[in-house]
Amino acid sequence: HASPSAADALVKNSKLSAAAPEFVPGCYASFQDDVYSDESEGYYPEPSLADFVQDFVSHLNSSPGSFESEIDYITDTLNSCVTTEEILQKLVELIYVQSTSIPNFAYTGARLCNHLSHHIRLSPASGNFRQLLLQRCRTEYEQREQAVRGDPGTQKRFHSYVLFLGELYLNLEIKSGKDTPGRANVLLGALKDLLNALFSHPDDPNLMCAVKLLKLSGSILDDTWKEKGQSDMDEVIKKIEDILIDAKCSRDVKQMLLKLLELQSSNWGRVHVAAVSSDATPDNDPNYFMNEPTFYTTDGTPFTAADPEYSDKYQEILDREDFFPDAYEENGNDSFCGDEDEMDPEIEEAFERFCMESDARRKK
């Protein structure tokens, strides 16, 4: 500890002033990108809005379990920063780009967008956070017909957008005055149109994207369309059946489509029980895991939480960029396997049965 005389000397020689402006952390500033700095005098550039968004997105992506504990701080900080319409629009663009470009961030990005749509206070005439986000999504939606026929880079960006929109439909809550929060109907119609666009140019990448979207949201889309008295899912399944009969896709994608049809025909793998015990456990209830989501390993083998190797297999998926490898992009080869490889006997039998049933339906 400094002696009283030394402390007096420090105070006497200090350049600090009680009348100096209050210190404000950089993340609470107005987030201008061009901030002057003079390191010789101890001044450094203040973090921009882009820096802050990138930092917390990176944190949430690496530690998704911290979402609940961190989201209030993130929201409070953004509310202190987002003071103009221009900054709000920039925030929407930054989060949209992060959510559609970072592997495996679409789900957390959609949760983030849902939370901010209810808690970002600024609501200018051009629209609040949710409205601006949906406007941004519409920009990509309107380019769907060109995107599905674009180069591999364009297709890959479009597919990331499609899967983010699927997550957004599942997670974005629209609050009303009377009822409990519901989903955005505008996204329901958009997802149907995006599926049609993918099926209109049925190359392997587009079909793989459609499979991923339907595995992600198919059960919810099916339920919602049925509640509205619409047969949209029947139309989707018919398109898949037609594509399988044409057999223009690779063997591997054909297997994925067949597995998807099997999943849909089993009510998306769901089991409805008349009465579910509140104290059900994996040991006393054989149906305990039946409503858990189904995942696929690299060789296409389905598994759920009931699988004894669930943790290892699920980690394998997390370690990959996507649910399916990008091997089809290498050497211009659209197949994951060599031409000499044969279709799995089980899948071959399922496909033959499908073809026979389709022929029988046509003859009727």
Spell out the per-residue pLDDT of the chain, length 364, in tens: 444 454 455 445 544 444 444 333 344 443 344 444 444 455 556 678 999 999 999 999 999 999 999 999 999 999 999 999 999 999 999 999 999 999 899 999 999 999 999 999 999 999 999 999 999 999 999 999 999 999 999 999 999 999 999 999 999 998 876 667 889 999 999 999 999 999 999 999 999 999 999 999 999 999 999 999 999 999 999 999 999 988 688 999 999 999 999 999 999 988 754 444 556 665 555 455 545 555 555 555 555 555 556 556 555 655 554 444 443 333 333 332 334 445 566 666 666 666 666 666 655 5
Predicted confidence at residue 225, as pLDDT, reads: 96
Q: Give one word for 42, left, alpha or beta, with left for phi > 0 and alpha for psi -120 to 50.
A: left
Question: What is the residue extent of each domain of the chain?
Answer: 49-269, 288-363
Cα 10 to Cα 2: distance, rounded to the nearest angstrom: 10
Q: Coil, helix or strand for 295?
A: strand
* Fold topology of 49-269: 1.25.40
C-alpha closest to that of 51 among 38, 79, 32, 23: 32
Q: Which residues touch 135 (CB under 8 Å, ≥6 apart)? A: 127
State the burial class of residue 362 (Cβ atoms within 10 Å of its Cβ: 0-12, 13-18, 19+).
exposed
Distances in Å between the Cα of 277 and the Cα atoms of 272, 281, 288, 347 are 13, 9, 10, 36
Predicted confidence at residue 267, as pLDDT, reads: 94
Cα 294 to Cα 309: distance, rounded to the nearest angstrom: 14
